[in-house]
Structure 1
Amino acid sequence: MTVTVIFLSFLVMLAIMMLGLPIAVIMAIMGAFGGVLTFGWPLLDSTGPVMWSVMNENLLTAIPLFILLGEVMLRSGMADRMYGALAIWLDRLPGGLLHTNIGCCALFAATSGSSVATAATIGTVATPALNERGYDQAKSLGSIAAGGTLGILIPPSVNMLIYGSMSETSIGQLFIAGIIPGLLLTACFMIYIAISNLSDHQPATNIIPIGVKLRALTALIPPAIIFGIVMGSIYAGIATPTESAALGVVAALIMAGLDGHLSLDFFNRCFMNTAKTTGMVLMIILAAFILNVTLSLTGVAQTMTEYVTSLGISTTVLLIILIVFYIILGMFMDVLSMMVLTIPIAVPVVVAAGVDPLWFGIFIILMCELGMITPPVGMNLYVVHGVRGDNGPFMDVVRGAFPYVIIMIAFTGLLIAFPAIVTWLPQTMYGP
């Protein structure tokens, strides 16, 4: 298969997406249609076993478990208490509650695994306080939208599970690899907020006694325990990612029960939202694997690898090209679709160029983060706009999020220059 045919096929898929058809339907049709055209109807005989094996993949069981974990935390009020505790400690910094937005997003991300859930939860909790104190709308909404993207970088992450399953990369190592970049990106966001608000008038706040501040920290204990159970069990080697997710759910349910939140309505809300989100995710993954059967048999990945190698470009130039490619793609495609569509082709190409697939996993997650806050299809932008509560202009969110797009691109450049930021911790824990 020539490179021209590959690009034309990709453009056809994008064009069909613009018509509004579900991405899962498009990938399944393209996979089946392309396979039948190339190999005839017998190809469909091999598609059935692939679909069966994907849906029986034990690793994918972690996806609904991590989604359920985030739902339990949201419905039990943990996010509200986290926000209140961090507001007490960070309110007096330049930028005030904007730091609380980022910090609370980072903490919630460490247990939810979803950017959309993080942005929606923290946005719902934060916007009343921000509006009451007169914060600039663009800065407030932009910090929530950008902070929400940390949900797929700071482990555990549903997107890391998907990347690991599709690229055959260790999920445990991916989770560990995301810790330092996640913390550094959080720090970069907060440094930007502090610098950009140095000269701004901050809403007056009362001095809070240290005793009150220390007591408020108790609200951070439940999410810290859950994060410790999930990540600790993986690192200690006593649980797989799926088992650690189950342990996290059990711990969250126990804490919710101790707070008196367990009820039939509580379980109904948690399980219904988990089922809806899981159904959407797994349908896209299943369709992606159907497409991958055709891609594998037609040698698309090998053709693209040979083509890129023949260009003679350096690894750095290749990664810069991929940054531009993913930024453009993220403007018109949702994050999950972007991942499952490009991973089968991109991973063999970058591995042939000498890029560590573990490092590339974090790179792709960062590109997905960019896609979540770049219009016109930036999901976090719409989520935050939907929970703002005042029906203001959508451009407020776009303007507020734009500086964070620049920060994330610069941060990606930092990872390219110093790949050990990603690889050092997993190599230290797991060995080279």
Structure 2
Amino acid sequence: MSGPILSVGLLGLLFLLLGLGVWVAWSLITIGVVSLAAFTNVPTGKVMATALWSASSQWALVSLPLFIWMGEILSRTRVMELLFSALSPLLRNLPGGLIHTNIVGSGVFATVSGSSSATCVTVGKLTIPALRERGYADREIIGTLTSASALGLMIPPSIGLIVYGVVAEVSIARLFLAGFLPGFVLMLMLMVVAGFMDPGTKTTEEPRIGWAEILRRGAGLFPILSLIVIVLGSIYGGYATPTEAAAVGVAGALVIALMRRELTAASFKEGVLGAIRTTCMIGFITVSAAFLSTAMGYTGIPRMLAESIASFGLSQIGLIVVLTLFFVVLGCFLEGMSLIVLTGAILTPIVTEAGIDPVWFGIYLIAIIEISLITPPVGLNLFVMQSLTGHEISSIVRAVFPYFLTLLAFVTLLVMFPELALFLPSLSGH
């Protein structure tokens, strides 16, 4: 049986399992077992045991629960309240006014949380009532927050980049560097669109304050911003691995919460349990995808797919266009982390063979997943926003649509100018 036909059959089985409500991880394991049992002569049990152990014992994966825990700790502090207070006098005179606090606030908080849904919830709980009180339309509040919270997957320390680095065997430090500039450019693009969509003056004006008060408000963010600089700076400077830096981040977050008197026994327990739940979910999917990737290697499907793609004579741009359409469709059915682990290990060798840098492909993949987060019917951020605002999914989709187009334009920019992602890693020497 040819690679494409076999791939379509297995993909159809995967969608059937997902449609029946089977967990993503169990669906991946099932596909791996079927592939090995039906199309190879290797012992399925031994291959599964080896693949699961190998995937779960990787040192780089240890940084994942630590970064998640750091975000859980800081999300239970008053960081967003301080951030809104510091940003509002700086952004009030821009076209769009305080609506930009959704975008800039999401970008800054993303460096703390590394999670899109956590960014959306934490930023939204503060900015939605504050912006409504000041007369901003729900349409713009929903559009900017839903799209900007996807920055949590792009801006380091990104959980998505860590998982991609593990499954695709790419340097996490290089991926973190590569995510900075694209994340900043995407933030600016969203701000431009937000200013264009709603440039008018709101019903409630912010009182003018002096620079002394602005600096006083900003000083409250100094400990958290310093922690971010220390964590990321230690990685980029070569002083610590991502795992070691993540441990420093957790210790620093605990100290900050303790100094602010916001660390209680209850909040500590909630933070630990939240980190455990998220880590278990991502870890289960990651090791399941590792087994599926191993099974695919035994069946020869990746090699046959690569040969089939090569036979079409596609250029790099042509391959990226095909993959973009593939990911956007797949993103309508799978959430972002599942997409990373499902496709990262299988597609990375194919795109590398086509001459595409795997670091750039990781940033491209994250950008596509950001689009999937706001794509109906299962875009995760759409459901998070529905729970925060109580609006119907249809109205949320309409509000998000201009920013959906902005994300597509950003992916086009990333494809046309790959240096956007590769410039900083090329300077670092990592």
Same-fold call, TM cutoff 0.5: yes
**Secondary structure at the residue paired with 1:135?**
coil
Match of 1:216 in 2: 217
**Secondary structure at the residue paired with 2:136?**
coil
Match of 1:417 in 2: 416
Q: 5+ residue gaps in structure 1?
A: none
Residue 332 of structure 1 and its aligned partner are, at CA, apart by: 1.4
In structure 1, C-alpha distance between the alignment counterparts of 2:204 and 2:196, rounded to whole Å: 17
Evaluate the alpha carbon distance shift between residue 396 and residue 133 of structure 1 in structure 2; reply closer, same or farther with a 3 A threshold: farther
Q: What is the CA RMSD across the aligned residues, in angstroms?
A: 1.4
Q: Which amino acid aligns with 1:126?
A: T
Q: Which amino acid aligns with 1:192?
A: V
In structure 2, C-alpha distance between the alignment counterparts of 1:310 and 1:96, rounded to whole Å: 52
In structure 2, C-alpha distance between the alignment counterparts of 1:156 and 1:302, rounded to whole Å: 33
Q: Which amino acid aligns with 2:135?
A: G
Residue 40 of structure 1 and its aligned partner are, at CA, apart by: 4.3
Residue 38 of structure 1 and its aligned partner are, at CA, apart by: 2.4
In structure 2, C-alpha distance between the alignment counterparts of 1:172 and 1:403, rounded to whole Å: 33
More off after superposition, 200-209 vs 332-341: 200-209
Conserved in 1, the CA contact under 8 Å of 2:96 and 2:200?
no
Cα deviation per residue 1:247-289 (whole Å; 9 max; x = unaligned)? 1111111111111122211211100111111111111111111
Match of 2:71 in 1: 70
Q: 1:120-139 alignment to 2 at 5 Å?
A: 120-139=121-140
In structure 1, C-alpha distance between the alignment counterparts of 2:250 and 2:81, rounded to whole Å: 19
Residue 53 of structure 1 and its aligned partner are, at CA, apart by: 2.0
Conserved in 2, the CA contact under 8 Å of 1:304 and 1:345?
no
1:25 paired with 2:26, answer yes
In structure 2, C-alpha distance between the alignment counterparts of 1:288 and 1:51, rounded to whole Å: 9
In structure 1, C-alpha distance between the alignment counterparts of 2:171 and 2:411, rounded to whole Å: 22
1:398 paired with 2:392, answer no
Residue 201 of structure 1 and its aligned partner are, at CA, apart by: 4.8
Residue 200 of structure 1 and its aligned partner are, at CA, apart by: 5.9
Match of 1:187 in 2: 188
Match of 1:295 in 2: 296
1:50 paired with 2:58, answer no
1:336 paired with 2:357, answer no
Evaluate the alpha carbon distance shift between residue 407 and residue 201 of structure 1 in structure 2; reply closer, same or farther with a 3 A threshold: same
Conserved in 2, the CA contact under 8 Å of 1:67 and 1:113?
yes
Q: 1:314-393 alignment to 2 at 5 Å?
A: 314-388=315-389, 391-393=390-392
1:7 paired with 2:12, answer no
Conserved in 2, the CA contact under 8 Å of 1:181 and 1:421?
yes
In structure 2, C-alpha distance between the alignment counterparts of 1:215 and 1:395, rounded to whole Å: 42
Residue 184 of structure 1 and its aligned partner are, at CA, apart by: 0.6
Residue 209 of structure 1 and its aligned partner are, at CA, apart by: 2.1
Residue 92 of structure 1 and its aligned partner are, at CA, apart by: 2.9
Residue 226 of structure 1 and its aligned partner are, at CA, apart by: 1.8
**Secondary structure at the residue paired with 2:220?**
helix
Residue 15 of structure 1 and its aligned partner are, at CA, apart by: 2.2
Match of 2:427 in 1: 428
Q: Which amino acid aligns with 1:402?
A: F
In structure 2, C-alpha distance between the alignment counterparts of 1:54 and 1:350, rounded to whole Å: 22
Conserved in 2, the CA contact under 8 Å of 1:301 and 1:344?
no
Match of 2:159 in 1: 158
Evaluate the alpha carbon distance shift between residue 239 and residue 138 of structure 1 in structure 2; reply closer, same or farther with a 3 A threshold: same
Q: Which amino acid aligns with 2:286?
A: I
Cα deviation per residue 1:297-351 (whole Å; 9 max; x = unaligned)? 1111111111111101111111111111111111111111111111233212211
Q: Which amino acid aligns with 2:128?
A: T
Match of 2:101 in 1: 100
In structure 1, C-alpha distance between the alignment counterparts of 2:188 and 2:143, rounded to whole Å: 16
**Secondary structure at the residue paired with 1:178?**
helix
**Secondary structure at the residue paired with 2:90?**
helix
Residue 16 of structure 1 and its aligned partner are, at CA, apart by: 1.8
Match of 1:79 in 2: 80
In structure 1, C-alpha distance between the alignment counterparts of 2:200 and 2:273, rounded to whole Å: 46
Match of 2:314 in 1: 313
In structure 2, C-alpha distance between the alignment counterparts of 1:263 and 1:199, rounded to whole Å: 43
Cα deviation per residue 1:15-69 (whole Å; 9 max; x = unaligned)? 2211111111111111112212223472321221221222221111111111111
Cα deviation per residue 1:359-403 (whole Å; 9 max; x = unaligned)? 000000001100111111010111122122xx3333332122111
In structure 2, C-alpha distance between the alignment counterparts of 1:196 and 1:262, rounded to whole Å: 40
Conserved in 1, the CA contact under 8 Å of 2:153 and 2:159?
yes
Conserved in 2, the CA contact under 8 Å of 1:118 and 1:148?
yes
Residue 133 of structure 1 and its aligned partner are, at CA, apart by: 1.6
In structure 1, C-alpha distance between the alignment counterparts of 2:370 and 2:220, rounded to whole Å: 28
Q: Which amino acid aligns with 1:139?
A: E
How does the TM-score come out when normalised to structure 2? 0.97
**Secondary structure at the residue paired with 1:208?**
coil
Conserved in 2, the CA contact under 8 Å of 1:95 and 1:193?
yes
In structure 2, C-alpha distance between the alignment counterparts of 1:45 and 1:330, rounded to whole Å: 32
How does the TM-score come out when normalised to structure 1? 0.96
State percent identity of aligned pairs: 34
Conserved in 2, the CA contact under 8 Å of 1:169 and 1:357?
yes
Conserved in 2, the CA contact under 8 Å of 1:31 and 1:294?
yes
